[in-house]
Structure 1
Amino acid sequence: MSTPARPRPDASMTLLREVMERPLDPGYAAAARARADGTAPGPRRRRLVLTLALAATAGLVATVGVVALRAPAAAGTTGALRAEVEDRQAQVDGLAASVEESRAAVAAAEEAALGPGAAATSERTERLGVLTGDLPVTGPGLRVVVADAPSAAADASGSPRTDEAADAGRVRDRDLQTVVNGLWVAGAEAVSVGGQRLTARTAVRGAGEAVLVGYQPLAPPYTVEAVGDPADLATGFALSAGGRYAAGLADYGIRVTTTEEDELHLPAAAGLRPELARVPDDAATDAP
């Protein structure tokens, strides 16, 4: 007859016995044996592998980002936008021609309505129309062409130095404003910028990289034309603050060319409308 096995006295202390008999976790023990045998990668090797993996991941992400940013726009989209811009510009040109025809018809009707006193009144009206820009002007004058520096036309490389140099050589709205003011000071009777007639209410301003005259965007080179005595305009402009400013633009590579012209044609200003009107005293007296 067999004697039943007696339980161990320390059966209730299994955890304490495990700690005393096997102080290392089996995983740690296996790693220690692998290091002792020389088959486990050392800390340096693990760090090197981790570094290479992170570098490869970062390089892949950067490459994908650069490719996405520099991907050219779809040819169809660019072509459609260009076609729409050209179509809108053609519509604007057609409306401008219609305005010129309407102005000529209004002038003829005014002359017919004035009757015998049309000569004196017409001369005064014509002078006022020239000053306000309501009438086109043809005559001798001065042409000033302001062009960007060659560095401004270079492709943007992303380099801060390159981009700064290109920006310094680009013609800004303030440059054209100063040139125009110099021509007015020199005695110009009428001035246009890029074919757009200037009036007392016309703004030359910038919108991003574009220069606007009124609401019409212009592209370089910018042509400024002034009607008046060519010699007097050339001398007065060179001596004015605007002329000295234009000469100083050469330090930034901006090219300013001035030529005297025998005949210039400046169109009438677009969008003119009367803001104030009153009935003359004699007309009020004669009214029934």
Structure 2
Amino acid sequence: MTEPSLDRARTPLLTLITQEALDRDYQVAASRRGDGERPERRRSYRGGVIAVIGVFAMLVTVAAVQTSQNADVDDASRASLIDRVEARQAVLRDNQDRIAQLRDANAQGQEALSSLNRRYADARARVAALGALTGFAPVTGSGVRIVVDNPDYAGPNEVVRDSDLALLVNGLWEAGAEAISINGQRLSGASAIRNSGEPIEVNSVGIAPPYTVIAIGDRRTLGADFVESRSGLRFLNLADQYGFTHEIDNVDDVRLGAAPSSFQRLRSATYLQRNPKTKGGEAP
């Protein structure tokens, strides 16, 4: 009975090699038996075949062991790679959380900066307004100009004195003036008008006649209100009595400079802080 032939396309390689080697050995042995080969030579051929098969089996075993070792190495490398990937993913998550925290802190910082800028702008506006009212900031506007001069051939007791200019200035304040200067010297709360001998000093600066007094205010009413004010009436009476010349004109656009900054320093008084700062630099 003939053995079925091997399907070479589906048979495993190791089985195919072993089976074909054995079949060829059997064919050779059968042909030699037909030719009357001696039993001794048949045994030697059989031993050679067994040795070849043993060597081949050993090679297959070595290959299987090497493949198993390589598989273990591949598994270890794969596990190490997975651990590294997971570690990098953890670091990435930490960095993403840190970025989110920094973004929140940056948003809070920008909001605080915007609030600080608004408070700074408000403070500057208040400083400018206070500077204009107190005389320590330049101002511009419309108002009146009054020029006062000594009479011709005036004697020592017939010239304009510091008290006369003080009456003029007080009348303008009473009439609603918002800023006043005398011969370019801006008046402030610390300004003084006084005689130093015959010359008059304003802000410790000597001035000479004619004396030009400029007041910024509502020019529609400032001149009339000055004439009707108590101090204005007293000044006009003195002017008529001693013969001072005086002219009052409306002005459309004048600029008054600031009073000397040295007058802003407190010498004896101490600033009273009503709202002490709380932690964080903000007043309650």
Q: Which runs of 5+ in 2 are unaligned?
A: 1-113
Mapped pair 1:285 → 2:279: yes
Mapped pair 1:255 → 2:245: yes
User: What TM-score, normalized by structure 1, do the two folds share?
Assistant: 0.52
1:130 to 129, 132, 145: 132
Residue identity matched to 1:265: R
Structure 2 distance, partners of 1:126, 1:253, is 41
Q: How does 1:100-179 map to 2 (within 5 A)?
A: 115-152=117-154, 166-179=155-168
**What SS class does the counterpart of residue 229 from structure 1 fall into?**
coil
Shift, 1:229, TM fit: 0.6
- 1:88-133 CA distance string (max 9 Å, x none): xxxxxxxxxxxxxxxxxxxxxxxx9951334433322211111121
Q: How many residues align?
A: 164
Shift, 1:265, TM fit: 1.1
Of all paired residues, the percent bearing the same amino acid is: 37
Mapped pair 1:264 → 2:254: yes
**What SS class does the counterpart of residue 223 from structure 2 fall into?**
helix
Decide whether aligned partners of structure 1 residues 217 and 113 sit closer, same or farther in structure 2, where only a CA change above 3 A counts.
farther
- Which has the higher mean CA deviation after the structures are superposed, 258-267 or 271-280? 271-280
Mapped pair 1:207 → 2:196: yes
Structure 1 distance, partners of 2:122, 2:206, is 39
- C-alpha contact 1:151 1:169 (8 A) present in aligned 2: no
- 1:203-257 CA distance string (max 9 Å, x none): 1011111101121000001111111111221111010122212322123221011
Structure 1 distance, partners of 2:166, 2:115, is 40
Q: How does 1:1-288 map to 2 (within 5 A)?
A: 115-152=117-154, 166-248=155-237, 249-270=239-260, 271-275=262-266, 276-277=270-271, 281=275, 283-287=277-281
Residue identity matched to 1:225: I
Structure 2 distance, partners of 1:191, 1:285, is 42
Q: Which runs of 5+ in 1 are unaligned?
A: 1-111, 153-165
User: What TM-score, normalized by structure 2, do the two folds share?
Assistant: 0.53
Structure 2 distance, partners of 1:114, 1:192, is 36
Structure 2 distance, partners of 1:279, 1:286, is 17
Residue identity matched to 2:138: P
**What SS class does the counterpart of residue 253 from structure 2 fall into?**
strand
**What SS class does the counterpart of residue 212 from structure 1 fall into?**
strand
Structure 2 distance, partners of 1:247, 1:211, is 19
**What SS class does the counterpart of residue 151 from structure 1 fall into?**
coil
Structure 1 distance, partners of 2:274, 2:171, is 37
- C-alpha contact 2:193 2:200 (8 A) present in aligned 1: yes
- C-alpha contact 1:139 1:228 (8 A) present in aligned 2: yes
- 1:184-205 CA distance string (max 9 Å, x none): 0001111111111111121101
Structure 2 distance, partners of 1:202, 1:209, is 19
**What SS class does the counterpart of residue 167 from structure 1 fall into?**
coil
Structure 2 distance, partners of 1:149, 1:225, is 21
- C-alpha contact 1:142 1:261 (8 A) present in aligned 2: yes
Structure 1 distance, partners of 2:264, 2:207, is 23
Shift, 1:285, TM fit: 2.3
Decide whether aligned partners of structure 1 residues 212 and 279 sit closer, same or farther in structure 2, where only a CA change above 3 A counts.
same
- C-alpha contact 1:246 1:256 (8 A) present in aligned 2: no
Residue identity matched to 2:187: L
Residue identity matched to 2:202: V
Decide whether aligned partners of structure 1 residues 280 and 137 sit closer, same or farther in structure 2, where only a CA change above 3 A counts.
same
- 1:8-39 CA distance string (max 9 Å, x none): xxxxxxxxxxxxxxxxxxxxxxxxxxxxxxxx
Structure 1 distance, partners of 2:115, 2:134, is 22
Decide whether aligned partners of structure 1 residues 282 and 167 sit closer, same or farther in structure 2, where only a CA change above 3 A counts.
closer
